[in-house]
């Protein structure tokens, strides 16, 4: 049995779908089973990574785990999950981490939280694989409202170019690793992978691709970081997370975010999906 945490989010749900398509038995961990809307083939369990006493039941009979946690307490969640996994005899953890964990200069919240989470997993003694994406193509979903209502993409850091990845490719990588019958010989044990999409794009270039896919002209308008932060607060994001997200977004101006990494292709045997592919698949959200 493979346990997927964060299974109701964008990446976790994609991992669930990919594992099911590969014929793997899947259990999904959620705090809200009633609204999880997961496929019938999934064994849905109610547990909370922040409530360690709920974890042993969720991990019973689990052999491998896709570990995705989110928010300011994610390092504590990772530690709780790693401890419960060790007690349950889990043989491999694939953790969704962050692209800047190895950079000692990355002292802003999100890489700091993930660095501590990775440390907890390594300390558990369970074989692991860290998958570290830079940015998700699905972050463009935040633009859907103003694309629909104003034909405009508002985003800060217009000079930055990110080689963002389609979450479906993260799921494909995780599924390849988690369904590997002979993990010790697969080369994925205790490895770290940097995941990117096929090309770095600025928000203006993404806007052009969206225009092409939607068949109507869209405009890119650069916002200030302060305006972008206010938009997050209006969206219901709290202060801590808004600051963490803005610090992360500012790294769009740094050169490493535009680097294309070969890991998706090396692991899955095919090139990563383009932003054009992603936009075509999510076209309906922007109409």
Ligand X SMILES: NC(=O)c1ccc[n+]([C@@H]2O[C@H](COP(=O)([O-])OP(=O)(O)OC[C@H]3O[C@@H](n4cnc5c(N)ncnc54)[C@H](OP(=O)(O)O)[C@@H]3O)[C@@H](O)[C@H]2O)c1
- Residue 203 binding ligand X, by CB under 6 A: no
Cβ of residue 166: shortest distance to ligand X, in angstroms? 11
**Residue indicated by tokens 């491999």:** 92
Residue closer to ligand X by CB (options 136, 275) is 136
Minimum gap (Å) between residue 139 Cβ and ligand X: 5
Site string for ligand X, 157-176 (x = CB under 6 A): --------------------
**Which one of the spans 15-23, 29-37, 210-218, 220-228 is the region binding ligand X (CB under 6 A)?**
29-37
By CB under 6 A, the residues from 46 to 75 that bind ligand X are 50, 68-71, 74
Residue 45 as a binder of ligand X (CB under 6 A): the answer is: no
Asked whether position 135 contacts ligand X by CB under 6 A, the answer is: yes
Nearer Cβ to ligand X (50/158): 50
Least separation, in Å, of the C-beta of 97 and ligand X?
7
Q: Would you say 195 and 147 are in contact if contact means Cβ atoms under 8 Å apart?
A: no
Closest distance to ligand X from the beta carbon of 73 (Å): 6
232 makes contact with ligand X (CB under 6 A): no
The answer to whether residues 156 and 249 touch, using CB atoms and an 8 Å cutoff, is yes
Interface residues with ligand X (CB under 6 A) are 6, 8-12, 30-32, 36, 50, 68-71, 74, 96, 98, 110, 133, 135-136, 139
């Amino acid at each position: 049995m493979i346990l997927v945490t964060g299974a109701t989010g964008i990446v976790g749900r994609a991992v669930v779908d990919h594992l099911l398509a590969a014929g793997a038995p899947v259990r999904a961990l959620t705090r809200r089973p009633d609204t999880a809307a997961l496929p019938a083939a999934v064994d849905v369990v109610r547990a909370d990574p922040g409530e360690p006493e709920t974890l042993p039941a969720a991990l019973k009979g689990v052999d491998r785990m896709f570990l995705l946690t989110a928010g300011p307490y994610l390092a504590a969640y990772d530690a709780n999950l790693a401890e419960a996994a060790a007690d349950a005899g889990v043989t491999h953890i694939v953790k969704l981490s962050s692209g800047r964990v190895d950079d000692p200069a990355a002292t802003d919240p999100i890489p700091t939280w993930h660095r501590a989470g990775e440390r907890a997993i390594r300390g558990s003694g369970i074989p692991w694989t860290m998958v570290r994406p830079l940015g998700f193509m699905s972050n463009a979903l935040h633009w859907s409202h103003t694309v629909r209502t104003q034909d405009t993409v508002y985003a800060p850091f217009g000079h930055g170019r990110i080689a963002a990845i389609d979450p479906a490719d993260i799921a494909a990588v995780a599924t390849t690793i988690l369904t590997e019958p002979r993990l010790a010989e697969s080369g994925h044990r205790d490895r770290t992978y940097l995941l990117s999409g096929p090309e770095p794009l600025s928000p203006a270039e993404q806007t052009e691709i969206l225009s092409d896919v939607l068949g109507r002209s869209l405009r890119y308008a650069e916002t200030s970081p302060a305006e972008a932060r206010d938009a997050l607060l209006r969206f219901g994001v709290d202060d801590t997370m808004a600051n963490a997200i803005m610090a992360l977004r500012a790294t769009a101006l740094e050169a490493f975010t535009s680097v294309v990494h070969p890991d998706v292709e090396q692991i899955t045997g095919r090139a990563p999906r383009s932003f054009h592919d992603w936009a075509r698949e999510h076209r309906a959200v922007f109409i």
